Chains A and B, each alone.
Chain A
Amino acid sequence: MAMTRTISRRDLLASIKKIAATSALGAMPTGRLFAAPEDYSGRFFITVQAEGAWDTASFCDPKANVAGERIINSWAQSAEIQTAGNLSYAPVANNAAFFQKHYPKMLVINGVDSQTNSHTTGVLHNWSGRNSAGFPSLTALFAATHAPNLPLSYLNYGGYAETARLIRYTRLNDVRALLTVLTPNVLPWDRASTFQNPEMLETIKAHQQARLNRLRNNPQNIPRTQYTMDAYYSARENAAGLEDFAAVIPADNDLQDNRFLQQMQITALAFKAGVACSADVVLGGFDTHADHDAEQMPRLAELTAGLDYLWDYAEEQGIADRLTVLVASDFARTPWYNSSEGKDHWSVGSAIVMEKNAPWGNRVVQATDATQNALKVSPSTLALSDSGTVIYPKHIHNAMRQYLGISGGALDDAFPLNNAEQFGFFS
């Protein structure tokens, strides 16, 4: 009802511009402020973290039993190691279906020495590249390097998620609740209406962001205040694309109920919507100190089912060609059973890298002996070599950084992997 002067939409936009112009946008003291999000057309990167230490001897580094030694695998008493392309696998769980279908995408590196039997240190070592605290996850580095301004650039579902304050991670759990927060102004009970008129809310946001910018430019800010203000500022700056994400969330009936598959699904959708570029997907339950065969095999089956689903769903969403996946664990399990039919911790394990149409697919770097001890490998030829080196997580990370375009940048320099030979895993 018009009583005083009326405000047109044009006036409103002018008002917003005025607010922005007076808020000293250019005088940012510290922190990362990113330009408005652009369409991300680069690669997507997922780590799949098998929490608790998987049994590689029953998976991608299959071990037959050795005469005169303790039994490594009970399945090996009656079954043979199988192959898919150049890869070997254990004939248990759903390995056959997985390896036969996906071996062209797979680089298997057997003989990665985590140098620990502590879960905490193993997780740290495998996902940050060193066994000292302080380094970001590879996923955080990837997101911070390639697309830090995406709304949810780095997704994490509970695994190793150190960011070293390079970037913030986002945790998603209840997909059915996601829609509301992706579109905060929309009424939950009537999605055709909003709490605030959208134009009005834009005015509020503009005022709010201008105020936050004023706060950020206070030279008296202490480091913590500055950092959290900058984080909030960039979080809001990057929110624009979230409605694109909301647009691809499927109906409830089409959402996966399995927690692991749900992680895969929502990650693929976030990639498709252009709101994220990296994710840590986790599956627990691999720490099978007792009743190993009964406990470990279902987990391996769930792991491969999840990976299979990921690739199929990524294909369906049209993003499979841009996807790189690293699968690993804390370390591995002993090449023998303990008195409880379990397997304890063993520091020598494996890593798997997956990518569609990769020239390095269908490749295995075999750096363990028959009883799963680490062997030295030539970094250049990847062949066993006494003058070579044992493969450590830092080598995986060094190569992945190179391959993923992280190496050579400022972030790579800030978190150097000292003395890490460059392995030609991808050459």
Chain B
Amino acid sequence: MTLLALAFSGCGAGDSEPSGNSGQNASQVASDNSSASSMQSVNSSVALASSSSQPLPSTSAPVNSSAASQSVSNSSDANASANQGASSSATVHVSSQASSEPASLSALELYKTTVEQPVSQSICVTCHRVGGVSGQTRLVFSVGSNLGDSNFAELQSYVLNEQAGGDLLLSKVKGGSGHQGGAVLPGSSENYLALAAVVQKLQGGSASSAQQKVEFFENIGLQSYSQTLRRASLLLAGRLPTDDELNSVVDEASFKAALKNVMTGEGFHQFLVRAANDRLLTDAFNQGLNLDVLEPNASFYPTLANLFVEANQNDARGDFYNDFYAKLRHGVAHAPLELIAYVVENDLPYTEILTADYTLANPQLAQVYNAELSVFSSADYREFKPVQNRGQIVHDSQFQSEFIEGMGSIIASFGHYVPYPHAGVLNEPAFLNRYPSTDTNRNRARARWAYFHFLGVDIEKSAARTSDPEALADTNNPTMNNPNCTVCHIAMDPVAGAFQNYGDAGLYRDAWGGRDSLPRPYKQESGLYVQSDTWYRDMRSPGFNGLLAPSNSNSLQWLAQHIIDDPRFAQAAVKFWWPAVMAEELLEAPEALEDANYQDQLAAFDAQNSFVTTLADDFRSGINGSAAYNVKDLLVELLASPWFRASRAEASLAQSQVAQLTGIGAGRLLTPEELEAKTTALIGYAWGETDAPWRLDNRYTNLINRYLIYYGGMDSVGITSRARELNTLMANVALTQAVSVACGAVVMDINRAPAPAIFTEVDRYDTPVSFEAELVSITATDSATATVAQMAVNLPAGEQQVSLQFANPHWDGDLEEGTNLIITQLRLLDAAGSPVLTLDGEDFPQQAGFVVSQNASGNNTGNRFYDTAAGTHDGYILWGGGLNLPVNVASQGQYTLEVSAWRRNVPGYPVNAVMAINALAPYSNTLGEQRIRQQLVHLHQRFLGQVLATDSPEIDASLNLLVDTWQWRQANMPQRAYDWESEGCDIPVPNWWQQDWTNELADSSYMQGSWISVLIYLMTDYHYLHE
């Protein structure tokens, strides 16, 4: 991994070249963190220490010094390691300390030997020269050899005469203070340090910026491999990692391999499409933005025009718009996104997103493109395949058409189909239409966004403009001649020209005649137009970076090739994908030197920019020896970096470091899409998920289709950025989701066959007080043949409670009778099988401490059973609820609880009982409590990504909640998962309320209801909503 200080030409007119020196001689500044247990100097790389069992991983953090330290968190909670028993710790220093040059050298000598050639002549003069974009600024160098003296004088004048000139200069080269050329020297680069040393000498050692030391990731601990893999899986694949995946991670290499392995499947595909749309915003056409480029009434795509006319003739206009055209529109809107996803998923070089001589289309779009439809496996509008656009025509002399209002364009004849000159995303109709042009805009918006997305340059940031009325009123072609305007246009307009073949909406050569896309007023009124022109004569010629496009027929393909050859393309790729992974935009260079936190902002920007630059270098050449421009590798490096994995402060952070680290590392708010995927992965369905025939995808969910904007999502039209922190309404959306799905999730899972997926450590009868509890089926129908059920249980000495509950009392409306459970005898046997307690059912009420439950009217739900035939009491009958009996256990040991019982009424309907022995009060460390703690540990791990011990404070807290709710439900609620008299439950089964869910909803132990509360607690937890 090399450290390159890349020239970054925001002016766009000059060449961007690597600096003369790589970082191989960069000074290596050791950490001053004396607490670091091990220190290593790794040239131009960062060493991140983990446990001793893990080799030092390397990242592409672009620092010229490194130190490794090992630290194991003493936290057993949030930051505990989930595997390898270790959590990584990074001590990364990004130092901008001026290099120590021989004191004997004068500033001039220092300048001439270390700055003039590698910095001034190689980088600065690209713009800061006479005639250059920055030729009218206060710093203009001479171009050529042996000009060190004069250029030094220029630099000296700037540093000493400008207000805070030294700081300003050093700030600007790092991209700050509104430097229109962006960041040209990373603060850790040798060239920067050399320049800083000159400034320091010029100022007599007073250059504050040069002396500032930034320790960016010092004392910041990283998430473990397993924690990182979990986050990556959720974010990039919409699922949790499998046990096999987690177990496969043993070192840095296997960690990265595991990260790359999650980049498959539909979840990853959706991540790619979503991430691409967050930048390109072409999904806007599915959100109400007019798709002018493929408009049914138009006549540039005959297949589309004919289908529309045919639909109108068949009086099927509504169906056409709601079905075929809606699918076609989706195809157009998502084509650039699918192209990017296709390139990434197939490990094609990322450059192909601009050079692909094909597009991605769904069947409907492919039909309009006259492409081969046999490549599709179905007519599913979500299936995209690479095809070529051979569906457009131009309005040339052979074109004849009649437009009939209400019918469409009836095309009588036309010439050939355009061999569409695909240039990847650049001439995707959706991209062109998303940034439409006008007669005066002249493709400048397209140029602006091409620069932004594919070169990482925001031209508009350099668009601050004079207030001089004369300059404002300049009508002498100011974009060509007025320096206030040329600052942007010298770079932008040639690229705009490269889009010359595309009209305002994005159609190829849509002007009448089909030879260009120039507007009629220009051609007819300007006096400039010459036959066969395809571009404006009062604008700069199509080109890029000072080069002219050689042909007007393929200028966009030519531009694409030059963009991918530009070093900034790789940097732009990093910038393109960064927000999807980090949930933050990359920092912008601060512009106002007077801002109180300017230096912190600049330091953070510089560190980030350095990382981006170096990672981009690796991306261009192939990360870790892999193929060049592989986005999966790029994503792996982002995920494995401290920018993603930073998770804890291992010492008190300095205020400046706090300011710099804002927005970095763990704690990113999940987007609505990510949260929905996570919920689906955990409970098996999404909130409000239902079939939706009125939607193309036949799927409706609350979070995506109703509360997307409320929860910080975007519609790609009016709202084009995501909310990154929770506000009150968003918190309420999260709460609404939790209370809406918790009941259904618990009931579905606890009753799941063959076994629950969530509640794996308990059954529904384990309570906070149960030593043991079991469900038994009572099948006998008379006392003589009573069912005898036994349950082994280990009991401590002392008073305990025997509990017998009627698990599923049922009333049959047709028979007008309810099921009864009659208990004839209860015995407790010791380990030898000898009874230590024998009680006949009819004697229960006489036992001290006997309690039977009561119904809502305050009446007992059981009584002594009177056998009419025998004329005597024989047993205890329950028609609902249950009973408790105290029992004194003389000594700790193994016992057996034996219950004899029979059933009556509603023949064929099962009668089940829950037998249990309980402690008198919670927190008695019963087996039930232990299982519940295990279950809580499992839930914290699954839902929150926390690895906790069963006796950790957070598990104690969760248990407290469960006990509180459990006791409250016992006191106030019927024995059902929810009280349908006052509560609601949304079970994700169509028409479930029309079916018999008595057994599933039965909650004789009050635990389903209690687990519902716990699930609400977890699904509104900070760690559920953030990753």
Residues in chain B near residue A214, CB distance under 8 A: 953-954, 957
Cβ of A235 to closest chain B Cβ, rounded Å: 4
A55 interface contact, C-beta 8 A: no
- From B467, B667, B957, A222 is in contact (CB under 8 Å) with B667
In the bound complex, what is the Cα–Cα distance between A7 and B966 (angstroms)?
A: 10
Q: What residue of chain A has the Cβ atom nearest to residue B485's Cβ?
A: A117
Residues in chain A near residue B522, CB distance under 8 A: 339
Residues in chain B near residue A187, CB distance under 8 A: 984
In this complex, the interface size class of chain B, counting residues with CB under 8 Å from chain A, is: 35 or more
In the bound complex, what is the Cα–Cα distance between A180 and B732 (angstroms)?
A: 9
A225 interface contact, C-beta 8 A: yes
Residues in chain A near residue B130, CB distance under 8 A: none
- From B78, B803, B1025, A232 is in contact (CB under 8 Å) with B1025
Assuming the A-B contacts A1-B861, A204-B1017, A235-B726, are A222 and B465 also in contact, with contact meaning beta carbons closer than 8 angstroms in the complex? no
B727 interface contact, C-beta 8 A: yes
Contacting pair B463 A118 (CB below 8 A): yes
Contacting pair B726 A219 (CB below 8 A): no
Within 568-582 of B, Cβ neighbours of A (below 8 Å) are at none
Residues in chain A near residue B1025, CB distance under 8 A: 232
Cβ of A171 to closest chain B Cβ, rounded Å: 5
Contacting pair B438 A211 (CB below 8 A): no
Within 75-99 of B, Cβ neighbours of A (below 8 Å) are at 75, 78-79
Q: What residue of chain B has the Cβ atom nearest to residue A12's Cβ?
A: B968
Assuming the A-B contacts A1-B853, A289-B441, are A373 and B464 also in contact, with contact meaning beta carbons closer than 8 angstroms in the complex? no
Contacting pair A289 B438 (CB below 8 A): yes
In the bound complex, what is the Cα–Cα distance between A239 and B734 (angstroms)?
A: 12
In the bound complex, what is the Cα–Cα distance between A339 and B855 (angstroms)?
A: 84
Residues in chain B near residue A238, CB distance under 8 A: 728
Contacting pair A418 B854 (CB below 8 A): no
Residues in chain A near residue B75, CB distance under 8 A: 218, 220
- From B661, B723, B973, A223 is in contact (CB under 8 Å) with B661
Cβ of A249 to closest chain B Cβ, rounded Å: 13
User: CB-defined interface of B177-198 with A at 8 Å, one 1/0 digit per residue?
Assistant: 0100000000000000000000
A100 interface contact, C-beta 8 A: no
Q: What residue of chain A has the Cβ atom nearest to residue B653's Cβ?
A: A223
Assuming the A-B contacts A207-B960, A374-B467, are A195 and B984 also in contact, with contact meaning beta carbons closer than 8 angstroms in the complex? yes
Within 419-464 of B, Cβ neighbours of A (below 8 Å) are at 438-441, 458, 460-461, 463-464
User: CB-defined interface of B57-77 with A at 8 Å, one 1/0 digit per residue?
Assistant: 000000000000000010100
Residues in chain A near residue B728, CB distance under 8 A: 151-152, 168, 170, 235-236, 238-239, 242
A284 interface contact, C-beta 8 A: yes
Cβ of B743 to closest chain A Cβ, rounded Å: 7
Assuming the A-B contacts A170-B727, A212-B1022, A229-B1022, are A221 and B648 also in contact, with contact meaning beta carbons closer than 8 angstroms in the complex? yes
Within 1-53 of A, Cβ neighbours of B (below 8 Å) are at 1-8, 12, 15, 19, 30
Within 115-134 of A, Cβ neighbours of B (below 8 Å) are at 115-121, 130-134
Residues in chain A near residue B888, CB distance under 8 A: none
Q: What residue of chain B has the Cβ atom nearest to residue A168's Cβ?
A: B727
Assuming the A-B contacts A3-B882, A117-B465, A390-B467, are A236 and B964 also in contact, with contact meaning beta carbons closer than 8 angstroms in the complex? no
B909 interface contact, C-beta 8 A: no
Contacting pair A204 B648 (CB below 8 A): no
B17 interface contact, C-beta 8 A: no
Within 162-203 of A, Cβ neighbours of B (below 8 Å) are at 165, 168-174, 177-178, 180-182, 184-185, 187, 189-190, 193-197, 199-201, 203
Stretch from A74-82, A88-96, A306-314, A341-349 that touches the partner:
A341-349
User: CB-defined interface of B949-976 with A at 8 Å, one 1/0 digit per residue?
Assistant: 0000110010011001101111111110
Within 261-313 of A, Cβ neighbours of B (below 8 Å) are at 282, 284, 289-290
Within 722-760 of B, Cβ neighbours of A (below 8 Å) are at 723, 725-733, 735-736, 739-740, 742-743
Residues in chain A near residue B590, CB distance under 8 A: 132-134
- From A15, A282, A284, A339, B964 is in contact (CB under 8 Å) with A15
Residues in chain B near residue A134, CB distance under 8 A: 590-592, 595, 601
B403 interface contact, C-beta 8 A: no
Residues in chain B near residue A130, CB distance under 8 A: 592
In the bound complex, what is the Cα–Cα distance between A182 and B591 (angstroms)?
A: 40
In the bound complex, what is the Cα–Cα distance between A352 and B72 (angstroms)?
A: 59
Stretch from B301-309, B380-388, B704-712, B900-908 that touches the partner:
B704-712
- From A177, A208, A282, B1017 is in contact (CB under 8 Å) with A208
Cβ of A228 to closest chain B Cβ, rounded Å: 5
Assuming the A-B contacts A1-B855, A238-B728, A290-B439, are A196 and B983 also in contact, with contact meaning beta carbons closer than 8 angstroms in the complex? yes
Residues in chain B near residue A339, CB distance under 8 A: 439-440, 519, 521-522, 525-526
Contacting pair A348 B472 (CB below 8 A): yes
User: CB-defined interface of A217-261 with B at 8 Å, one 1/0 digit per residue?
Assistant: 011111111111101100110110010000000000000000000
B1013 interface contact, C-beta 8 A: yes
- From B488, B591, B666, B710, A224 is in contact (CB under 8 Å) with B666
A210 interface contact, C-beta 8 A: yes
Residues in chain A near residue B729, CB distance under 8 A: 151-152, 170, 172, 181, 242
Question: How many A-B contacts at CB < 8 Å in the complex?
Answer: 321
Within 192-250 of B, Cβ neighbours of A (below 8 Å) are at 220-221
In the bound complex, what is the Cα–Cα distance between A219 and B648 (angstroms)?
A: 9
Contacting pair B1012 A196 (CB below 8 A): yes
Within 396-427 of A, Cβ neighbours of B (below 8 Å) are at 414, 416, 418
In the bound complex, what is the Cα–Cα distance between A5 and B1023 (angstroms)?
A: 34
Residues in chain A near residue B968, CB distance under 8 A: 7, 12, 199-200, 203
Contacting pair B961 A203 (CB below 8 A): yes
Contacting pair A347 B465 (CB below 8 A): yes
A61 interface contact, C-beta 8 A: no
In the bound complex, what is the Cα–Cα distance between A184 and B741 (angstroms)?
A: 12
Contacting pair A196 B1013 (CB below 8 A): yes
User: CB-defined interface of B791-813 with A at 8 Å, one 1/0 digit per residue?
Assistant: 00000000000010000000000
In the bound complex, what is the Cα–Cα distance between A348 and B591 (angstroms)?
A: 23
In the bound complex, what is the Cα–Cα distance between A242 and B743 (angstroms)?
A: 24
A385 interface contact, C-beta 8 A: no
Residues in chain B near residue A178, CB distance under 8 A: 710
Assuming the A-B contacts A7-B967, A342-B439, are A414 and B596 also in contact, with contact meaning beta carbons closer than 8 angstroms in the complex? yes
A378 interface contact, C-beta 8 A: no
- From B519, B725, B957, A168 is in contact (CB under 8 Å) with B725
Contacting pair A220 B853 (CB below 8 A): no
Residues in chain A near residue B851, CB distance under 8 A: 2-3
In the bound complex, what is the Cα–Cα distance between A2 and B852 (angstroms)?
A: 8
Q: What residue of chain A has the Cβ atom nearest to residue B731's Cβ?
A: A235
A71 interface contact, C-beta 8 A: no
Assuming the A-B contacts A182-B732, A235-B730, are A115 and B465 also in contact, with contact meaning beta carbons closer than 8 angstroms in the complex? yes
Assuming the A-B contacts A5-B967, A222-B649, are A210 and B736 also in contact, with contact meaning beta carbons closer than 8 angstroms in the complex? no
Q: What residue of chain A has the Cβ atom nearest to residue B960's Cβ?
A: A207
Assuming the A-B contacts A7-B968, A130-B592, A238-B728, are A342 and B653 also in contact, with contact meaning beta carbons closer than 8 angstroms in the complex? no
B652 interface contact, C-beta 8 A: yes
B881 interface contact, C-beta 8 A: yes
Contacting pair A208 B1020 (CB below 8 A): yes
Cβ of A279 to closest chain B Cβ, rounded Å: 13
Residues in chain B near residue A180, CB distance under 8 A: 736
Cβ of A53 to closest chain B Cβ, rounded Å: 13
A338 interface contact, C-beta 8 A: yes
Residues in chain B near residue A232, CB distance under 8 A: 725-726, 731, 1022, 1025
A371 interface contact, C-beta 8 A: yes
Q: Can you identify 12 A-B contacts, CB atoms within 8 angstroms?
A: A118-B488, A132-B178, A151-B728, A173-B709, A177-B707, A195-B743, A207-B960, A223-B662, A232-B726, A242-B728, A290-B440, A390-B467
| Further contacts, 20 of them, CB under 8 A, given A133-B588, A414-B596 | A1-B975, A115-B464, A121-B460, A132-B592, A170-B730, A173-B710, A184-B735, A194-B984, A199-B972, A201-B1016, A207-B964, A220-B221, A220-B648, A223-B663, A224-B661, A227-B725, A228-B668, A229-B667, A231-B727, A374-B469
Closest 10 pairs (CB-CB, A-B): A118-B463, A225-B667, A184-B736, A168-B727, A132-B591, A340-B439, A339-B521, A6-B971, A289-B438, A373-B469
